[in-house]
Amino acid sequence: MTITVYLGSTEGRDPAFKTAVRELGTWIGANGHSLVYGGSKCGLMGELAESVLRSGGEVTGVEPQFFIDAGFEYDAITRLIITRDMSERKAKMIELGDVFIAFPGGTGTLEEISEVISKVGLRHLDAPCILYNLNGYYNDLRALLDHMVEMGLCTKEKLRGVYFADDLAQIKDILKG
């Protein structure tokens, strides 16, 4: 299975992020899955890619040229796909993935996973979309999605295929079902 993970290029302030992202990467690699991610060597992105590689997994980075020019690419990954811009990057990451996970991240992560949520809701994408709700990171997004349903601007059916997982064990359970 190819797992596309969206996440931050910084480490964030919660030490649990680094531990959990390494655990996720180790599980991906040790179980014969492959990773698609943003291609950076920095922050949580670099930790994830390194842990997949150390566990014997393959890692594909998808990175726009301007990040390459800034020197953010991770040279040790299995494959690097260079795109013209962020829109092309998002499309390629979706094209390559079988499963989509949003680990805690910033506005870029939010933008990327929002597109996946929309495509899943429109049935343009038949794949699990998992928000890794580590230490309640995505609680407010869950509340917003519930509010959209309550206000009649979204339906529960459009959110079918969108999951919130508090830990790796819950992610594994979602992917079994």
Q: How far apart are CA 153 and CA 75, in angstroms?
A: 44
**What mean pLDDT is predicted for residues 39-57?**
96
Asked if residue 72 lies in contact with residue 63, where contact means CB atoms within 8 angstroms, the answer is: yes
Quick: pLDDT tens for 89-100. Answer: 999 999 999 999
Structure tokens at 67: 């990040």
Quick: pLDDT tens for 159-176. Answer: 999 999 999 999 999 999
Q: Which of 4, 58, 64, 69 is nearest to 31 (CA)?
A: 58
In the prediction, which pLDDT does 74 show? 87
> Between the CA atoms of 42, 115, 142 and 150, what dihedral angle is there, to the nearest 10 degrees?
160
DSSP 76: T
Enter the pTM of the model.
Answer: 0.96
| The listed CATH number (2.40.70.10, 3.40.109.10, 3.10.580.10, 3.40.50.450) that belongs to domain 2-172 | 3.40.50.450
Average pLDDT, the chain: 96
Quick: pLDDT tens for 125-157. Answer: 999 999 999 999 999 999 999 999 999 999 999
